[in-house]
Chains A and B, each alone.
Chain A
């Protein structure tokens, strides 16, 4: 069952080693391509070989070191720098922003934050860009710290999968977070971030009030952070099929929440923060993967610094070392491993574990299947979300928190409706330097698109009602009214037992478990890994005509994630030959299609009752197509245990002196989205800058 070596992909340059099985890894040694799983065992060469760290050869020395330049890391960097510290950020990627850069920028804060107050009054922003009226009523924006804290620790709220997102949250962590939300919103505004009108709240923003706002630029003649403008080309709106290096995801129309000519997404949050950090003198060491926290003694004493190894990201077409969008403040360091001393503190903000299948197995063992990546793999590269903070933290005695909380949010893992690409969570198009790593943009068919094909597993058998396969539970609901989140949440009563009484749960429960069927073992699952294997959407030419799916580059490409053939037999052969995780022939595919066509003829699907949900269409008209269906693991809610100052706590309940963590590196705080990371960064940056090296 070893991985085939004959990948004849034209479009896809393999940027990662995740296709290697564990045994392949051992077999090949793989020294040149250290994977995430290998780092567990790869002690930093010159750091912790001895029991004491006092003989470390330090290559750099700064006040505060931050591992990871995403939403928590960049915020912490600016905050610590504002308070007078010298700051260096190391990031494994070639550019900054982490997942914030390819996010939608929906930032839920609250507690009476400045944007809530602005929208209550109906004021425009200071620069006068906002001409749209507030999207929410003043009463829906009338918030307080106490209400926010209550909402995000509410034990009674459930989602339609009967999961409780906030019940298990760490009280101290959430209290500190809630108290710092208003200040963090102001801090972001002070660093060139422009917030649109608040509209509703994000999945993790609580039910009682509207707290979420997206970030925007105005389309203009040049891209200018200080002026708040961006060119149509940089925003990706000049040509929908071109993405810029500035914004790896096409920006969205913000006319409803700002006014005509406004665009929004993570580029309008990440780039302003990066610009400000560089302007204020934060240093950045890119292409540098954080490996180890260096502590005085393995499990005691103060944290002294970190070690990090060179992780060059090379352009998928030219092979050249990729360059960040801006370069001022970059430290060009290419030695294999360097040690960086922190006079005051180390902040771990290098993300969660969604990109590390071995660590994911702590939470859902079936998700150890490496065929399924995390979101944004092309942009992030092989080390994105690889659990580096969790692994390094454990090695210096840190405790973990909220280990079961991954299970309780709709985006943690789900089946993506974007087919035909491994990188099924973004809209990146050609023009961005990492597009070559994904090869195709994929076709976003939406949930309804799933009624147009049959879905098969690695042996070519159907495994679930396709129509119900991509269903995700919607965010939390409460009884009464329409049960939605703000702005219609004013009659929501927090901490009320009726929110989770069984009658209400029976009424709202709405989850189909297609994901779990997709991850189930099948005839092709072999010991010892029992991988469930890749998933395929199989359809014919008439489906293309019904739907208008654009079966062409850049949506699909010859990259092992989409196939086309004149017969089903040939299609099955192509998949086996051309897909990197297809470990065996799809031996049942022809039979499955024939059976399906019989079901269509009879009008009854005895296996999965498809006829109940949607019309069934035969698969008879060549050419025939196969597109990959991806399971995406997005969020991480289990991770390092920290206190309300974001200090990492060990297994005896003691603070590890000089070590902080924030964002998805931290556990015990289920709150989806950017708002968590920014506030963590703000708190960590505040205390790290003032931490004193003895």
Chain B
């Protein structure tokens, strides 16, 4: 189930701004808000406040003046931020318009032609795949299992269903199966990897190595009933950004 997203960006002549264009801008802001909620709120929050220093604030962030920076960060990722390679020029323009004008921001709209121009300078062809394409190995999931039980299991439960064995502890988000896939659907493994790496384990973030984190993610996929393949999942955000989490 491999899907190729056509990402041949064509430079278009920029038309004069008319009434219909302004109406489009309204739609673009709302479209951007939708994309923001799917892709960004996990770390940057609904309020754009982020969770510094782990996740940067977007509200009143003066770097938003720079459209090239916005586009490259979304497309290629930066630091702990994963790439979102499947977003096309229209979508990135909508998203950029939203974050530049939401909350207390007032940095003006971004049109998709401008985004397309920036993207034209970057790598063009994006191949997206799915977690269902055999992206990890069974032995990797086995390694992940023993890491999971020591590091994650106390809170997320032996069955990865968010039910801690210690009944004094409150329930946590499930890390496998239908509910997990529903919550994470549409995001890439890079987002999952970075979010996990930066925030977990809750009391002591980043106490596993990157290799260990990716093994735990392999185990989560295994328990979710997602089939293993012949190649191990690599802790490399660029390649992980091209693997989408989907329900079957």
A-B contacts, 15 listed (Cβ < 8 Å):
A104-B169, A240-B158, A253-B150, A265-B166, A410-B170, A417-B163, A427-B165, A444-B157, A446-B174, A448-B161, A448-B174, A484-B202, A486-B203, A546-B178, A634-B168
Check if B166 sits within 8 Å of A200, measured CB to CB.
Answer: no
Residues of B close to A547: CB separation below 8 A = 161, 177-178
Q: Is B171 a contact partner of A446 (Cβ separation < 8 A)?
A: yes
CB-based nearest A residue for B157: A446
B145 to chain A, nearest CB (A): 11
Q: How far is the CA of A546 from the CA of B179 in the complex (A)?
A: 9
A425 within 8 A of B: yes
Cβ-defined contact, B171 with A417, below 8 A: yes
Task: Decide if B209 is an interface residue (CB 8 Å cutoff).
Answer: no
A256-B170 contact, Cβ under 8 Å, with A448-B179, A546-B178: no
Tell me the interface secondary structure of chain B in the complex.
Answer: loop
**A-contact 0/1 string along B159-193, CB 8 Å cutoff:** 10111011111111110011100100000000000
* Contact assessment for B203 and A445 in the assembled complex, using a CB-CB cutoff below 8 Å: no
CA–CA, A252 to B179, complex, Å? 25
What residues of A have a CB within 8 angstroms of the CB of B39 in the complex? none
| Cross-chain contact A135 with B163 (CB below 8 angstroms) | no
Indicate if the CB atoms of A255 and B150 lie closer than 8 Å.
yes
Interface residues of A in 407-440 (CB under 8 A from B): 410-411, 416-418, 424-427
Identify the closest chain A residue to B151 (Cβ). A256
Number of interface residues of A (CB under 8 A): 50
Residue in contact with B203 in the complex, picked from A375, A446, A487, CB distance below 8 Å: A487
Q: Is B154 interfacial (CB-CB < 8 Å)?
A: yes
Taking CB atoms, residues of chain B closer than 8 Å to A178 are none
Q: A135-B207, A199-B203, A254-B150 are in contact. Are A426 and B167 (CB under 8 A)?
A: yes
Contact assessment for A199 and B204 in the assembled complex, using a CB-CB cutoff below 8 Å: yes
A472→B168 CA distance, assembly (Å): 11
**Distance from A452 Cβ to chain B, minimum over Cβ atoms (Å):** 9
A98 at the interface (CB under 8 A from B): no
Residues of B within 8 A of A43 (CB): none
Return the CB mask of A236-265 against B: 1 if under 8 Å, else 0: 000010000000001011111000000001
- Chain B proximity of A635: nearest CB distance (Å): 10
* Interface residues, chain A, with chain B CB atoms under 8 Å away: 103-104, 106, 135-136, 199-200, 202-203, 240, 250, 252-256, 265, 375, 410-411, 416-418, 424-427, 444-449, 451, 470, 472, 474, 482, 484, 486-488, 546-548, 615, 632, 634, 672-673
Query: How many residues of chain B have a CB within 8 Å of chain A?
Result: 32
B153 near A135 with CB under 8 A, answer: no
Is B167 in contact with A416, judged by CB distance below 8 angstroms?
A: yes
Question: B229 at interface (Cβ–Cβ under 8 A)?
Answer: no
In angstroms, Cα B202 to Cα A482, docked, is 11
Q: Quick one: given A135-B203, A199-B203, A482-B51, are A445 and B163 in contact (CB under 8 Å)?
A: yes
Say whether, besides A256-B207, A444-B157, A203 and B168 are in contact (CB < 8 Å): yes
Q: How far is the CB of B220 from chain A (nearest CB, A)?
A: 14
Query: Does B27 lie at the interface of the complex (its beta carbon under 8 Å from any beta carbon of A)?
Result: no
Which residue of B158, B172, B204 contacts A135 across the interface (Cβ within 8 Å)?
B204
* Docked CA distance A560–B112 (Å): 64
Contacts A104-B168, A411-B168, A449-B163 supplied; 18 other A-B pairs, CB < 8 Å? A135-B204, A240-B158, A250-B165, A252-B153, A252-B154, A252-B166, A256-B150, A256-B207, A418-B163, A425-B167, A444-B161, A446-B163, A448-B161, A448-B174, A474-B170, A486-B203, A546-B178, A632-B167
Shortest B247–chain A CB gap in Å is 11
**Would you give the shortest CB distance from A151 to chain B, in whole angstroms?**
18
Contact with A along B123-145 (1 / 0, CB 8 A): 00000000000000000000000
- Which residue of A103, A254, A444, A634 has the most chain B CB atoms within 10 A of its CB atom? A444
Number of A-B contacts (CB under 8 A): 96
CA A615 to CA B174, docked complex, whole Å:
16
Which chain A residues lie closer than 8 Å to B108 at the CB level?
Answer: none
Cβ–Cβ contact B162 & A448, under 8 A: yes
Q: Does B149 contact A (CB under 8 A)?
A: yes
- Residues of chain B contacted by A418 (CB below 8 angstroms): 163, 167
Q: Considering only CB atoms, which chain A residue lies closest to B204 in the complex?
A: A135
Contacts of A240 in B (CB 8 A): 158
C-alpha spacing A265/B166, complex, angstroms? 9
Residues of A with C-beta under 8 A to B158: 240
Cβ-defined contact, A446 with B161, below 8 A: yes
Cβ of A531 to closest chain B Cβ, rounded Å: 25
Query: When chains A and B are docked, how far (Å) is the Cα of A411 from the Cα of B171?
Result: 12
Pick the 9 closest A-B CB pairs, nearest first.
A446-B163, A255-B150, A447-B171, A446-B162, A104-B166, A444-B163, A253-B149, A256-B150, A253-B150
In the complex, what distance in Å separates the CA atom of A445 from the CA atom of B202?
A: 22
> A375 to B202, alpha carbons, bound, how many Å?
27
The answer to whether A487 and B204 touch across the interface, beta carbons within 8 angstroms, is yes
B221 CB to closest chain A CB (Å) equals 15
Inter-chain CA distance A135–B208, complex, in Å, is 12
Interchain nearest-CB distance for A632 vs B (Å)? 8
B162 touches A106 (CB 8 A): no
In whole angstroms, what is the CA distance A106 to B168 when docked?
A: 10
Q: Which residues of B contact A135 (CB under 8 A)?
A: 203-204, 207
Residue of A nearest to B171 (CB): A447
Complex Cα distance, B207 from A96, in Å, reads: 37
Q: Which residue of B lies closest to A197 (CB)?
A: B204
Q: Which residue of A lies closest to B178 (CB)?
A: A546
Contact A256 B201 (CB under 8 A): yes
Provided the pairs A256-B151, A487-B204 are in contact, do residues A472 and B170 lie with their beta carbons within 8 angstroms?
yes
* A639 to B217 alpha-carbon distance, docked (Å): 47
A265, B204: Cα distance in complex, Å: 20
CB closest residue in chain B, given A133: B207
A160–B172 alpha-carbon span in the complex (Å): 16
Alpha-carbon distance between A633 and B168 when the two chains are bound, in angstroms: 12
Name which residue of chain B comes closest to A262, CB basis.
Answer: B150
A426 and B167 alpha carbons, distance in the complex (Å): 7
Contacts of B146 in A (CB 8 A): 255
A255 to B201 Cα, complex, angstroms: 14
Nearest-neighbour CB distance to chain B for A627, whole angstroms, equals: 14
Residues of chain B with a CB closer than 8 A to A673's CB: 168
Q: Once the chains are docked, how many angstroms separate the CA of A425 from the CA of B207?
A: 30
Residues of B within 8 A of A104 (CB): 166, 168-169
Q: How far is the CB of A458 from chain B (nearest CB, A)?
A: 24
Chain A residues within 8 Å of B202, by CB: 484
In whole Å, how far is A682's beta carbon from the nearest beta carbon of chain B?
22
Binary A-proximity of B38-55 (CB < 8 A = 1, otherwise 0): 000000000000010000
